[in-house]
Structure 1
Amino acid sequence: MRYIIAIVGLLLLVGGLALVKASQISMLMGLGETMAQAGPPPEAVSTAPATVETWASSLHTVGTVASVRGVEISGEVPGVVVRIAFESGELVSEGDVLVELDSRVERAQLTAAQVTRDLALTTARRSRELDAAGVETKAQLDADESAVRQASAQIEVLRAQIARKTIRAPFSGRLGIRDVNLGQYLGAGVPITTLEAVDGAYVDFDLPQHDQRDLSTGLTVRLSIEGAGEGTREGTSEGEREGESEGTIVAIEPSVDPSTRMVSVRALAANEQGALKPGMFVHVEVVLAGQREVVSVPLTAIVYAPYGDSVFVVEDPVEPLPTPTTPTGAPVKLARQQFVQLGERRGDFVAVLDGVEAGQEIVIGGAFKLRNNAPVFVNNTPVIEAELEPTPSNR
């Protein structure tokens, strides 16, 4: 009997525990269904309206800096280096002596030629005196005067040879690294150094063929060097940032490259501070005539994806939401994903060619955590500031 009572008690205990657990599971299932109906909690986002801006029309590309004048300095004749009159990276003026080669043999020959010319002059003077007295033949006088001219020509030849042994700067500019040493035998055409003019720089770049109709010589070109830093250099105008300069288009290739369908353009920049170096990579903005209106949004609003770029437009819900407000009382709205076609960028903004209309409320902060028709509430604290010409500071 005692065993039966124990078994019945055990069954009642197990049954009671099963009823409690079933009640808990039922409650959890009901809570889950309630949460599923209510949906995920709203996300906090920052928003700003899409605005209409008036932008100057421009074309953007990249270019390569080329020297206005640049040469590789070398000697015309061979010889032994006896004097080096420059240092690597030095600024020189046109005509400055750079290198002198051994010219002792040519100078000795010049001295001998001058002596021969002096003798020929004396002989020719005597022949003219004798010819005047009628005791000299015309043939002898002609031979003596010819000897004078020949001796003078030989002097000029030797002077030219000596001058070629002195290597000078063909124009003003900055020298490169020195590739010659004192006492070195320098062959004809062997490089000594390079010389680049510093009074300007060319920037060569390419643009698509459909932009050729908008191009003309004289258009302003804005140049910027990536990674050049910021602030102003000593000697630059106030507000001009380091690594930025302006130039003008000076030449446009009349034909289009058949393989790339691009047209080549050359611009000339003043390069007063010497920031543009030959071979350097620069960003190029060609400022076209006229202005146009664009719908722009901050760059932080764009969600980039392989299948297309998009933004999230904040809209009031068409149907009432299970949770219309947040615990703080902020109204809950829906973020609709809208695919867009983007245009050019200006500072912190990008032009939207299609997909967004002016005045629509766009998510500019927190878009990465949203999905289509996600519930959101607006929290614009702190304010995300976007500028057309940002000047961020390094930290």
Structure 2
Amino acid sequence: MSSRRPLIIAVCIAGLAGLAGYAWYANQPRADGGGAPQAGAPQQVAGGGGQGAPVAVEVAVVQTRALADDVSAVGSLVSNESVVLRPEVSGRIEAIRFRDGEAVRRGAVLIELDAAVQRAELQQARANLTLAESNFRRTEDLFGRKFVSQSSLDDARAKLEVARASLALAQAHLARMQIRAPFDGVVGIRSVSPGDFVKDGDALINLEDIARLKVDFRLPELYLDRVRPGQALELSSDVLPGASFAATVEAIDPLVDAQGRAVRMRASLANPGMRLRPGVFARVRLILAERPEVPVVPETALVPAPGNVHFVYRVEDGKAQRVDVKTGQRRQAMVEVIEGLEAGATVVTAGQLKLRDGAAVKVAGAPAGVARVD
């Protein structure tokens, strides 16, 4: 093995020498102009189709569109009015005058309790009132003929007033045996039946006004000076994909949550067809301000740069000029341009990777307009 080592070393040295000679020969200029390019020689522009040829790009024209300053939040839907009906007195249920989930009108009798005693008391009070009225008329006539004293007349008048008050009290007791709807709405699912004995304060049925709904949501406190009652917002829910509902801010809680640093807000909206229901999760988009003329460009025109900044290539006189821009809102693949561009400018939307500042460009097709931003 040791005798073959010098032979192996000699072969390696010869191979290295051959490679060095080939590299020297390949880098020598030849008569036909071949070989490696010389330092400083002009290079072909990638995608340009020839030495110094313009770069093919796609462009779009900066246009202005109406854009809204908005903020998004999540909330829950609640009924416009909601109540759990409870009896004021104990008693046995005599009749139920509704069907579960039925729409009822204000004042409609929903549940009747056994009111036999109260009806008897009412009849007694009416009889007492009739007697008191007769006694008062008779005493008044006798007083006019000087047969009774003033005190007798006053006593008869007082008994008449007591009889009237007793009648009103009996009517109130009887009215409490009927549970009526306090507003138009839809009743829930009952858990009682005729014949059940209920105590005063027991929950019988819920009534919900869902012709209109309210949505409660919270916003960070930094928006406090930009919100006010009457502002418009859009509402959507997963239960109705693709549907959008218009709502209006009704109230702003004067107290800011000290833990979450958020302010509670309430908006109202119409509920046609009662498609939405209380308790549903909702997404809201509150429109803070409307701006009618905002420059926008497609997202594809932006080129990211170090330092979390962006720039675009503006096309002027057939050349690409790099322009640093400050961006704002993004909506439907469009970006608001706050600084750097004005309406009417032409920017590159495809082919930026082949460009450098000042490079010649060739527009592929007519400049594209900017899609509408709602």
Please report the TM-score for the alignment, with normalisation by the length of structure 2. Answer: 0.63
Q: Output the CA distance in 2 between the equivalents of 1:48 and 1:284.
A: 37
Q: CA RMSD in A?
A: 3.7
Q: Output the CA distance in 2 between the equivalents of 1:154 and 1:48.
A: 92
Alignment of 1:1-395 (within 5 A): 54=65, 55-230=67-242, 243-287=243-287, 288-290=289-291, 292-297=294-299, 346-347=331-332, 349=333, 351=335, 359=347
Kindly state the Cα deviation for residue 251 of structure 1 after the two structures are TM-superposed. 1.9
Kindly state the Cα deviation for residue 281 of structure 1 after the two structures are TM-superposed. 0.9
Q: Output the CA distance in 2 between the equivalents of 1:51 and 1:280.
A: 43
Aligned with 2:274: secondary structure? coil
Unaligned runs of 5+ in 2: 1-56, 303-307, 313-325, 352-370
Q: Output the CA distance in 2 between the equivalents of 1:274 and 1:136.
A: 70
1:186-244: CA deviation from partner (whole Å, max 9, x where unpaired) = 211111111111331111111222223332322211111114245xxxxxxxxxxxx32
Is the CA contact 1:221–1:247 (under 8 Å) kept in the aligned structure 2? Answer: yes
Question: If each structure's strand is expressed as a fraction of its own residues, which one has the higher value?
Answer: 2
Unaligned runs of 5+ in 1: 1-46, 231-242, 302-308, 314-340, 364-386, 391-395
Q: Output the CA distance in 2 between the equivalents of 1:274 and 1:388.
A: 32
Q: Output the CA distance in 1 between the equivalents of 2:91 and 2:173.
A: 11
Q: Output the CA distance in 2 between the equivalents of 1:388 and 1:180.
A: 57
Aligned with 1:266: secondary structure? strand
Letter in 2 for 1:160: A
- CA spacing shift, 1:115–1:255, aligned 2, 3 Å: closer
Is the CA contact 1:297–1:352 (under 8 Å) kept in the aligned structure 2? Answer: no
Q: Output the CA distance in 2 between the equivalents of 1:99 and 1:160.
A: 16
- CA spacing shift, 1:49–1:122, aligned 2, 3 Å: same
Q: How many residues align?
A: 275
- CA spacing shift, 1:130–1:203, aligned 2, 3 Å: same
- CA spacing shift, 1:290–1:353, aligned 2, 3 Å: closer
Kindly state the Cα deviation for residue 90 of structure 1 after the two structures are TM-superposed. 0.7
1:42-74: CA deviation from partner (whole Å, max 9, x where unpaired) = xxxxx9989967433221121211222111111
Please report the TM-score for the alignment, with normalisation by the length of structure 1. Answer: 0.60
1:268-319: CA deviation from partner (whole Å, max 9, x where unpaired) = 1112232232221111111232254455538xx9xxxxxxx9x9x9xxxxxx
Q: Output the CA distance in 2 between the equivalents of 1:98 and 1:346.
A: 51
Kindly state the Cα deviation for residue 122 of structure 1 after the two structures are TM-superposed. 2.0
- CA spacing shift, 1:84–1:345, aligned 2, 3 Å: farther
- Percent identity, aligned pairs only? 31
Kindly state the Cα deviation for residue 179 of structure 1 after the two structures are TM-superposed. 2.5
- CA spacing shift, 1:181–1:213, aligned 2, 3 Å: same
